[in-house]
Amino acid sequence: MQGKKEYRKKALVLVAVVCMVLIMAAVFIDSFFLNPFPVWVESVSKIVSNPAAWDNRTVRVEGIIQRISLGIILPFNYWLSDPENQTVRIGVKWYSGADLSGNHVNVIGVVREGYAWVHPDYPGWWVYFIDATSVY
Do residue 45 and residue 24 come from a single domain?
A: no
Indicate the helix (H) or strand (E) that contains 8. helix 2-34
In angstroms, the Cα distances linking 32 to 20, 28, 63, 132 are 18, 6, 27, 19
Per-residue pLDDT tens, the chain, 136 aa: give them: 567 888 888 888 899 899 998 888 877 776 666 555 677 777 899 999 999 999 999 999 999 999 988 777 889 999 999 998 889 999 999 998 888 999 999 999 999 999 988 877 888 889 999 999 999 9
Do residue 110 and residue 56 come from a single domain?
A: yes
CA atoms within 13 A on the CB side of 79: 15
Rounded distance between C-alpha atoms, residue 116 and residue 72, angstroms: 7
Do residue 44 and residue 15 come from a single domain?
A: no
CB 47 within 8 A of CB 128: yes
Do residue 28 and residue 12 come from a single domain?
A: yes
**Structure pTM?**
0.71
Do residue 1 and residue 46 come from a single domain?
A: no
Q: Residue 130 pairs with which residues in a beta bridge?
A: 92, 111
Do residue 25 and residue 74 come from a single domain?
A: no
Do residue 91 and residue 31 come from a single domain?
A: no
Which residues form the domain of 2? 1-35
